[in-house]
Structure 1
Amino acid sequence: MDPLLISGFLLIALLVFLASGIWVALALLGVGFIGITVFTSAPVGQVLASTVWGASNSWALAALPLFIWMGEILFRSRLSSDMFKGLSPWLGWLPGRLLHVNIIGCGIFAAVSGSSAATAATVGKMGIPELQKRGYDMNSVIGTLAGSGTLGLLIPPSIILIVYGVATDQSIARLFVAGILPGAMLVGLFMGYVIVWSLLNKDKVPDDNERMPLMEKIKATRSLAPVVILIGGVIGSIYSGIASPTDAAAVGVAIALFLSWIGGDLTWESFRDGLIGATRTSCMIALILAGAAFLTVAMAFTQIPSLLAEWIGGMGLSPFALLAVLTVFFVILGCFLDGISVVVLTTSVILPMVERVGIDTLWFGIFIVIVVEMSQITPPVGFNLFVLQGLTGRNILQIAKSALPFFLLMMVALGLIVFVPEIVTYLPDQMGR
């Protein structure tokens, strides 16, 4: 049977499964089972058992539940309010004033949580009431949180970069390093936009009537000490070569528990809830990875990936044309699936095409994460939109409209890393290969 017909049939089967509302992981397993059973003579039971075990038995995956647990601990601590106290005295002079606290706060929390939803929820839980009380324009408050919350996907330690590294056999440490400059660039773009917007809309930014003496500002900065300690422990141990990403995740959990205990936030209830939350999220991701691995093997048996790669290669697309097509494809896919599902579902098919046109797979990992960031603020299944809807009670389309400028800024960031790939590759190249 024509592999193109097989791929069309399996795509329809996947869409039917997803539309039925069953878990993404079960949909992937189901499509893989159909593909092997109907279109090949391979022993489906043996393939399923060996593939699921192989996808789960990975040391690199051990970092995943640990980083998720660290984020759960911090979510239940006072870290976000401490960040606000430490940052706000220094940002009142910038046009846009405390809107920048949302952006920088998300950037900092992203560096210790690794999760987009956790970043948006934690900083939003603190920032929305505070900025609303001070009279800031709520569309701007929501927009900065929606856009900046996506930094949790890019700034290391990033859960989705771990997933990409496992799925593509890339060095997770190098992926983490590759995400630093693009993450800082996005923070700069977001802050630049807020500055320009506030200069054009001065009536929507309240006056800063609080004049704090220098010594008071310095004293308030001490509130940032816990997050500095945590970032230094996690990121510093990786970049200095002292610890692997998995070891650093364990270090991060230990530091987060200690800081939570010192701050008086660590109770048996918060410890239990954090552990249960991390277990649920980790199991969900692990099951999705197992389902995607099984679907990947099933597609290999049907020869679909190699055929598609040859087809794309025969079209003679330039790297730029391929990236443009993939950007549209990933954004559309991200409108209906979460970011991790998008990555694990597509890498087996996309990577042969990417490698064929000579695109660096490490660079492509950062590219795909930025595109997935964009999909986090696109309806109907933008996770950050749901988070902010829960915090504000606003219509999801209103939130998406507030987030639109930041979606466009991410498009600018994509263009910058395409035309200046050294933004991604410079720091990893300094590590050596």
Structure 2
Amino acid sequence: MADLLTLGIFLLIFMVVLLGGGIWIAFSLAAVGYVATALVNPTPGLFLASAFWESTGSWTLAALPMFVWMGEILFRTRLSQELFNGLSPWFRRLPGRLLHVNIFACGIFGAVSGSSAATCATISKIALPELQRRGYDETLSIGSLATSGTLGILIPPSIIMVVYAVSVQSSIIRLFIAGLIPGLIVMALFSSYIVGWALLNPEKQPPAEPRMTFGEKLRASAQLIPCVLLIIVVIGSMFAGWATATEAAAVGVLGSLVLAAVTRTLSWQTFMESLTGATRLSCMINIILAGAAFLTKAMALTGIPAALASGVAAMELGPYGLIAILTVVYLILGCVVDGVSMIVLTTTITVPLVTAAGFDLVWFGIFIVLLVEIAQVTPPVGFNLFVMQGLTGREQGMVARASLPFFAMLLVTVAIITAWPRLVTWLPDLLLNR
């Protein structure tokens, strides 16, 4: 046990040195795995080759580039403008008014995007000028958009969920379904905070806008039809069991191209830009997963994860104590690495621990996704902070402070699903175990 602990500390320090030296994450993972394998096996190269082939040749992983491409196409359409215009009439009388549109527009766009940064950037480009023109509080506007953008990785389809499912050999569709109720909880908490803030700060509210008739609201909401149809086709086909995640992603790409053509935003330039962006991001994620797969094999050979699981079990922390420790660890990791890296760097160690503690891996996937959401608005490397900084010209510290109340709501959601895990597992069990 002492020898394994020493080896684990050595490998951890080695990885920190590589990452601190600017080595790509994928290569750092592979290098640490190679050293770990070489210490216990004379032919580490064979394990490296097999791990790379098995991880990148996964049929499950084929859904990833399709979902990424779908988001890249929609990023270049007028979908965000249509979402804002279609939703805004329904929130005119609610305290906080159009600030609620930020949340629900991000939730709906996240249902066809799968990316946090893309959701944040796309909705913010439309919402920020409108909110500023109408006199809404700048701090609350920025904070709500930065954090609501994170719904792009919780509301299915989600790129991060695909990465987690591939890393732990779990069901993508089950994870997608499991994210729905927590996603609605997050949206409800965000909106509740805005209502409370608006009631406590009436002087910061802009003047009430003219009333609209029910018919006028319905006509404005007609702009939501294309997006709703795309959501039904992509997510509904998976939930109904008519299509696998990969097949639904392919249909989503086709639907996105049709939507872009109908809205006259599809050109050869935008098509190539979307394809290039999707290829670049997909390749980055694939090579990181390949390095992580090799490290996973190496760790299994050394016996470090099993020893750690035994050690944690001997500490008798209990399930909630373990989750509390993991929450702190992931919050710290979120300050220095991105979401994909958080998952591939930790699942080798954490999955045996949570499995031994009796937690469902689908539940744990949603738990990690929520913490990755928090990482998106955690300085200094929170991607959504960079997005909002670029769009507003404000300092990252200001954007982070504006996001703090919503950051707290995400932590509340983590506590809720930990106390009532059936909120995560009930819906996939109901739909898939019929």
TM-score normalised per structure 1: 0.98
Report the Cα offset of residue 204 of structure 1. Answer: 1.6
Quote the residue 2:16 is aligned against.
15
Q: Are the equivalent residues in 1 in contact too, given 2:92–2:209 (CA < 8 A)? A: no
Counting only pairs closer than 5 Å after superposition, residues 257-268 of structure 1 correspond to structure 2 as 257-268=257-268
Report the Cα offset of residue 65 of structure 1. Answer: 0.4
The one-letter amino acid paired with 1:98 is L
Hey, what's the Cα distance between the residues in 1 that align with 2:19 and 2:395?
24
Quote the residue 2:54 is aligned against.
54
Quote the residue 2:114 is aligned against.
114
Hey, what's the Cα distance between the residues in 2 that align with 1:291 and 1:393?
36
Quote the residue 1:345 is aligned against.
345
Deviations 1:122-163 (A, max 9, x none): 111111111111111111011101111111111100111111
Task: Name segments (4+ residues, structure 1) moved above 3 Å.
Answer: none
Quote the residue 1:331 is aligned against.
331
Report the Cα offset of residue 20 of structure 1. Answer: 1.8
Report the Cα offset of residue 413 of structure 1. Answer: 0.6
The one-letter amino acid paired with 1:112 is V
Report the Cα offset of residue 41 of structure 1. Answer: 2.8
The one-letter amino acid paired with 1:123 is I
Quote the residue 2:95 is aligned against.
95
Report the Cα offset of residue 207 of structure 1. Answer: 1.5
1:373 and 2:373 matched: yes
Counting only pairs closer than 5 Å after superposition, residues 116-195 of structure 1 correspond to structure 2 as 116-195=116-195
Quote the residue 1:3 is aligned against.
4
Deviations 1:234-277 (A, max 9, x none): 01111111101110000100000001001100000000000000
Quote the residue 2:237 is aligned against.
237
Quote the residue 2:25 is aligned against.
24
Q: Gaps spanning 5+ residues in structure 2: where?
A: none
Hey, what's the Cα distance between the residues in 2 that align with 1:138 and 1:432?
44
1:84 and 2:77 matched: no
Quote the residue 2:73 is aligned against.
73
Hey, what's the Cα distance between the residues in 1 that align with 2:403 and 2:183?
18
Hey, what's the Cα distance between the residues in 2 that align with 1:149 and 1:114?
10
The one-letter amino acid paired with 1:61 is L
Quote the residue 2:45 is aligned against.
45
Percentage of identical aligned residues: 54
Deviations 1:8-46 (A, max 9, x none): 111111111111223211211122122223x22331221
Match of 2:156, SS state, is coil
Q: Gaps spanning 5+ residues in structure 1: where?
A: none
Match of 2:157, SS state, is coil
Report the Cα offset of residue 193 of structure 1. Answer: 0.4
Match of 1:2, SS state, is helix
Distance 1:210 1:21, change over 3 A: farther
Number of aligned residue pairs = 432
Report the Cα offset of residue 431 of structure 1. Answer: 2.5
Q: Which moved more, 1:192-201 or 1:128-137?
A: 128-137
Hey, what's the Cα distance between the residues in 2 that align with 1:415 and 1:19?
33
TM-score normalised per structure 2: 0.98
Deviations 1:47-69 (A, max 9, x none): 11111000101111111000000
Hey, what's the Cα distance between the residues in 1 that align with 2:209 and 2:241?
46
Quote the residue 1:204 is aligned against.
204
Hey, what's the Cα distance between the residues in 2 that align with 1:90 and 1:83?
12
Deviations 1:194-223 (A, max 9, x none): 000111111222122233333222111111
Hey, what's the Cα distance between the residues in 1 that align with 2:413 and 2:126?
28
Counting only pairs closer than 5 Å after superposition, residues 254-333 of structure 1 correspond to structure 2 as 254-333=254-333
The one-letter amino acid paired with 1:336 is V
Deviations 1:328-383 (A, max 9, x none): 00110111111111111111111111111111111111111111111111111111
Report the Cα offset of residue 425 of structure 1. Answer: 1.0
Match of 1:350, SS state, is helix
Quote the residue 2:356 is aligned against.
356
The one-letter amino acid paired with 2:319 is P
Report the Cα offset of residue 165 of structure 1. Answer: 1.0
Hey, what's the Cα distance between the residues in 2 that align with 1:232 and 1:89?
23
RMSD, aligned α-carbons: 1.1
The one-letter amino acid paired with 2:20 is A
Distance 1:21 1:250, change over 3 A: same
Hey, what's the Cα distance between the residues in 2 that align with 1:265 and 1:117?
21
Report the Cα offset of residue 387 of structure 1. Answer: 1.1
Hey, what's the Cα distance between the residues in 2 that align with 1:166 and 1:240?
22
